[in-house]
Amino acid sequence: MSGDEAFPPPAAGTGRRRPRSQAVPPILTLTVNPTVDICFEVDRLADVGKSRARVRFVAAGGGGINVARGVSRLGGRAIALHTAGREVGRRLNRLLDEEGVDHLSLEIAHETREAVVLFESQTRRSFHIVPPGPRLDDREGRRVLEALERAVAGHEYVVVSGSLPGGLPDTFYGAVARRVKEAGSRLVLDTSGRALRESLLEGVFLRRCNNHEAAGFAGKAVRTFDDARAVNEYLLAAGATEVAVTTLGELGALCSTRHGHTELRAPSLPGEPLSDAGAGDAMVAAVTLRLATGGDPVEACAFGVATAAAAVLTPDTEPFDREVAESLYPAVRVVRPAGS
């Protein structure tokens, strides 16, 4: 494929894609710093006095948990490995059980965090307020790694997504990457800050960075596909990943491998964008599931862009609509610039 083309839905059983009848191993996700998300709806936040609110939903959250939910929503299978502490941790476990998300819980000493989402119905704006979370000690960090070693067997793809809690070293995701690699599995990593930088010392299969995270590598704002290309070339040259994906918000994403760069231009939205809070996790879920079912990285990332677009159409952190994601997929434009 060259130039500027729409991305056609691939036929089942062609290329690297497995026939639909063949079972696909479940995807394992790891969330070291999960949340219980509580979403309130108000007509409009009052400058003074009380803002009367309605509870829209209460749900388990955190990067890897959101990815596991997204994989299931797209028809795949996922198991979420996560920490859980005290009363909020027990609530987290119960919410996952009630939702039917397969999960493995690791008890920690301190309280799991709660995040608050405020949705203003008059303005259609969302505000996501997220505390840093509990502090894990060295023993708890080792227990997470040991649990990962036990759980990873039989999983071709492992997704590690989200922030690190206090107490764990910035090199923790590097240790995770080594264990996944030793197990013969492929790691998809989506994190930020110092944890992202320190993890570059360990090569992974796929890294996703949004444009804000990528700016830390570029030393400037990342706004265009050319900006993203410089970031992805840096990651590939450093041996930090086999597939580099930098997302550019409403523009789409750039997917890069040793074979070249591919611009995946986001489709026009059929409605008003409401919130990008869950778009990154939705994209990672779609990309990983397509890879697990035999898709190549460009195909997988195109479906990821479509799924992220579907997520933007939902308010706050509500799940995306699978049918909308699938309908947007053929409209993702695939561009391979000259020299890529």
- The catalytic residues are 281
17 Cβ partners below 8 Å, 6+ apart? 10, 11, 293, 294, 295
Q: Token pair of 157, please?
A: 């793809």
Which DSSP string do the residues of 221-239 spell out, in sequence order? ---SHHHHHHHHHHHHHTT
Q: Token pair of 44, please?
A: 């409009």
Q: At what angle do helices 211-218 and 225-237 cross, to 10 degrees?
A: 60
What proportions of the chain, in percent to the nearest 5, are helix, strand and coil? 35, 30, 35
14 Cβ partners below 8 Å, 6+ apart? none
71 Cβ partners below 8 Å, 6+ apart? 27, 29, 77, 78, 285, 288, 289
3-state secondary structure (DSSP) of residue 263: strand
| CA-based max dimension of the chain | 61
Q: At what angle do helices 138-151 and 172-182 cross, to 10 degrees?
A: 20
Of how many residues is the chain composed? 340
Alpha carbon 35 to chain centroid, angstroms: 15
Q: How many beta carbons lie within 10 A of that of residue 244, not counting itself? A: 26
Return the sign of the alpha-carbon dihedral for residues 25, 26, 27, 29.
Answer: negative
